[in-house]
Structure 1
Amino acid sequence: MNKYEQLFIEAPIGIFRTNDQGEPLSVNKSLAKMLGCANEEEVLEYYTDLSEQLYVNSQRRIDFINQLKEKKEVNNFEYQARRSDGEEIWLSMDARIGEVKSDGSFVIEGFVIDITEMKVTKEELEKKKEALETFFNVTPDLLGIIDIDGNFIKVNQAWEKNLGYSKEKLEKSNCFDYIHPADQNDTKRKLKRLKNKEEVLNFVNRYRNSQGEYRYLEWRARWKNGFIYAASRDVTKRKKQEDKIKYISFHDNLTNLYNRTYLEEEIERMDVERQLPISLIMADLNGLKVVNDTYGHDRGDEILKQTAKILKTACRQEDVIARWGGDEFVIFLPQTREKEAQKVYNRIKNLCAATDGNEIPISIALGIGVKNNLEQKIYDVLNVAEEQMYKNKLDESRSTKSHIVKALLKTLGEKSDETEEHAWRMQKLTFLMAEELDLSQAKMDKLSLVATLHDIGKTIIPAEILTKTAKLTEDEWDTIQQHPKTGYRIASSTEEFSHVAEKILYHHERWDGSGYPHGLKGEGIPLLSRIITIVDAYDVMTNGRPYKDAMTKKEALAELERCSGTQFDPQLVNHFIKVMS
């Protein structure tokens, strides 16, 4: 090996030779290392086209080729390259056209150095500078650099937005041109103190805006290197904000009714003899948990708002309505006998009844308590109203939840292929399976209910996903896989259906453990869920879906047998085939 070959191999910079098609002819160790390769052979193996594969931005490659053809050489050409491990780095290249062959083809020779660290450092400095300038100009606070005499040196855009003065105008003026005459001496004393003490100082003064109106500005300023660096904000609206904070502290931000804190204070203030008799109505919204679990909390919030509207419509102006917490409300009725309170009670019930045609009707359980003399404790009266409300709720809540579930089933049928006919066929098939397996009447009843409710969780899935004929995306499939959990929550929240919630949860588990949502396996999956899995699959296969044509009975049974032991319980499949035969 001669000294030139040794220099080529050991040089601390990258050296390369390629043909005019970009195919590498030779590279040295340094370039191999830059590209994440162990040696020249690995480079030649990984980069079949050094000029094309290497460039992150293909346009830079075109620029390089064009410059090379035009000038025969290229110097300090910077570009972003991709290493063999995928990492992106910055390189600077000097290259020239070397040997030109008789057929017109040529060899490209060049040197490469890694400038990633320098590039990143430069970019970081530029980013920091740009970020500081951006922050200075976009921050809503009024920022300024002022000399000791009050002359503006630099201000940000917020001045124009808040006070109406352009940056250019302010930077040619003195801050005292805008300060209220009554505040000027105090401001001058503050600036003088700032210079002597070199401390952060907070103070407020009045500034005139471009409309001639004085606004209160709150300043935070500091003296440094001969200048005052100050930030201020308009605090004229502070009083309004304080009022708003007071409003928020006494109101429920969802319904805009009073909150419990306010009502407790109001009860204490108005629990006096001149307000007797005092009536209290305790109200509880029925079925909110079912709505939240099914339609989501946004829909639940809408129901709470509708409930608040009903209560406000039914009550008188002097009545105080408060959201007591969660789905509970309390109405405080001063100077109101039980007979008058009952009228409010009836108006609420009538307004609720008017929502029966809605997808989610409003149902409110109510109770009344009345304080007729000072000896009675007001919270004892509230307890009476609460006890009465809970008695009514026991009867009304079950009916409301059942109504919601039935509405959900209707909605599911309207937005997908989970029709009443599908549920009826499922019930018929599960009944045959229950007879074949000699299940008890209780289990048969459960199985029938699961057949009806197994896909109720799909009500939260958009119709366009449920009826999509093309292949589902990964996100859409994830959405579909959530429906057993949703169905479980819906069933669990109702006394009438809670006993089959677990069976609904597991009806998409597979015998081999590859199902969802929990990957249960074999007999770890409840029996009724295993039966529903088979029956549902058979009905879908024989009746089809938007994305799949229907099979014949024979084809469907053959498919069940094929998936026996993987997707389905093999013994149950045998029973099902026997039943269907």
Structure 2
Amino acid sequence: MSMHHIGIYISAICIAIVCLSIAVYALKNKAIPGAKALAFFMVAVLGYSVPYLFQLSSQNFSGALFWYNLSLPGANLIGPAWLVFALTWTELENRISRSKHIPMFCLLMVIPILVCLAAWTNHLHGFYGTNIQFESYESISILRWNFGLLYWVGFIYAYSLSVIGILILLLTALKRLRMYLYQSILLITGALFPIILRIVFAFDKSPISNIDLTPFAFLVTGVIWNLAIFLFRFLTAVPIAHKSIFQHTPIGMIVVDYQGHVADINPAAAEMIALPQESIIGRVFPEHLSVHLSPESASFSEADSKVIRLDQGGKIRYLQVQFKHIKDKNKKIKLGTLLLLSDITERMQWDNTLQESETRLLLAQKISQVGNWELDLTNRTLWASDECQRIYGVKQTSPILPFQVAQQYPLSEDRPRLDAALQALLEGRGIYNEEFRIRRGTDSAIRFIHSMANLVYNADGKPIKVAGVIQDITERKQIENALRESEARYRFIAENTGDVIWILDLETNRFQYVSPSVYQLRGYTANEVMAQDFKDALMPESLAHVQKTLPVNLENFFLGENKLHFDEIAQPHKDGSVVWTETVTRFLRDEDEDDHIIVLGVSRDITARKQAEEALQKKNRELENFFNLTPDLLTIATTDGRFLRTSPSWEMLLGYTNEELLQGKFLDFIHPDDLEATLKTMGDLSEQKRVVNFVNRYRCKDGTYRWIEWHSQPADNFIYAAARDITERKQMEDELLYQSSHDALTGLFNRQYYETELKRLQQSRRFPISILVMDMNGLKKVNDTLGHSMGDDLLRYAADAIMSAFRSEDIVARIGGDEFVVILPETNSEAAQAAVQRVYEKISEHNLKCQPDHTISLAIGFACGNQNNQLSEIFKQADIAMYKNKAKGEKALQDSSN
């Protein structure tokens, strides 16, 4: 083995060490923008350099050609990998939609792949090169080519991308701080060496005959880039753009120079005043905006704050404006004014509506800006509060919508994650606490939503619905994105915002920085808070929560997770009260010490919302206790006939479980005879009419029915009702009604009922009507000889025989001691005569079967009349006929019809 070969192998080992060390270092910092792309670039360099060096040490043509072909993928991927690194390290790829990153990378790979395929199949077409010659120069193997069109396409493409990447680094470096500028200069310097030597080789100007010195140049590149790593913390100290805080904060900001011109305006302010940014910047303020302001707020004074009213095409918006003077470093010369705008339209609306009803979480939602929803697991329908519908932009008046409709609002990219989280909640494998994006129904705007939910169980421990809340966190997400950017130019913004911005040192457990707004929040000055241990800033229950979650979140951060954390924290006020804050935190590495971790946080006062929630929960508990303990039958139902909720007394009365009652429609439990009246009452309730003292029957699980008396109040599509079981009262009423209309001895109708029916039938259209009058023969003799008890038995036998001879709609009554009468509606003389015959037959059947002293005998007379006759006269005619038959003492029939 020659000395040249030994030198080549040592160079290959050195190049491999340099490339792999930088790649491993980059992967250890893979969370840093550009780190993964740099690792890929170094692998490409390794894939090119080492095979090429092995080519130089080959002993024959086939070996040299093999190593040359093996080096082609790395050689052709260097340019695209370098461009991707430049785009990601400078964060210019954020200007390209994330969904287009992979297609763009694949597109960059097309030409390198085609060039490699052309080289490997060159023996078939010769488009890559011709006249390949194998030469040996001082034991170093050389391949000489006459390169063709496809070689030059790949060469120009790769080095064009390399030059573009260098230009991107150069232009970005000019806008950065000194340390980041030095990083960029070293990166560009290291990249230029291999590029220059490769170009020299391509044009046959290599100082060593036809040997590509580019792999050796990458050794120099590795040394220079290691200087960037160790001297200027390359890939650990990452530059962050300052403008983003100004651009992405949800606080509206307008900068006015000393001449009264608008020098800058952020998107939040432009959105609040409903004018494009480009139409405002450079204009005199406030004249340009006066057409959008009502007369009372068209001019500004230098007050600490002011509320203005904007009329935006009929839509009124209220803004709170704070004015802060911008002065030079010596705070003597006024450079301009900073206007801080907050949209308080909803707050103004809340002030006007707090005196209205507190129905179904409306008060809490208006105060907290939180919408709530309930998913019925039985019928898969979703109830959404007014605030929830406003956040989603739902275009319907009913709060009930099918679950499939609600699923259309989240973006398709987030839908699988939400479905998985809901399924995990239903299966008891996790909690539902998700952030996602929706396309709002009213204007198709993309909004960020935070939703939390939990299961609601019935008495048997079975989940019956999912109850949750949502909050539009779009503005908060903008703040979170802005936290990644530098605050150099606009640092004073943090000093004037209503939220408290703070930095916590985890080594000392003390605050490095707290914005002055902490005084308005907790009554302490910023210096007082920074002098305390962070534990003093938390109430005991919140401190326990933080001590539990902080180690877990910190461990995840070290594993590469760098997400925002959201908590509701209770903090002590200087006056002894408790302040509730919504806190957003993120872990950051200290710029000077990589292993030194700090926490950046923003805290917002939500005390009013928490107090409202606690008040509402207390009222709900009181209502729940009343609902569960009252003996009355309480229920909430829909106007289409479904129970939404029932009190436990329903289960005790009907025997059904609460789940069985909620599964079907309550109309399924109604007695068929009461269904028509119930449907009419439902119609009144649908028309928002109050219903009292309505009575119907409900079926029990054992098949019996109970009488229920209702008092119902409608509210939109819901019915709120209280009912009582009046079955015993109805039974007593029925018994009294029976006794008032029936003969106690025989069970037949009595004289009072007979006379009432006679008057009713006189007005009816059921003519002809026949009346039969019957008198028991010999009853007085039986009473005198055998006793009244025997007489009573004979009367009962006679009543049974008479009843068995007539239809159910015929009226059979006992109107005297031994006198019976029968009214036959819609019966002519022939039918009446047949009826008399049936009575005699029934009497004969009785007499054949009974004992001799239990036989009975009747005298019967009948008469028939039409609508021209008075029924009282018909009765008299029948009575006369009966007495005639009684006098004859025989069964002859007397037809006395008119």
Q: Which has the higher strand share?
A: 2
Larger radius of gyration: 2
TM-score w.r.t. the length of structure 2 is 0.23
TM-score w.r.t. the length of structure 1 is 0.33
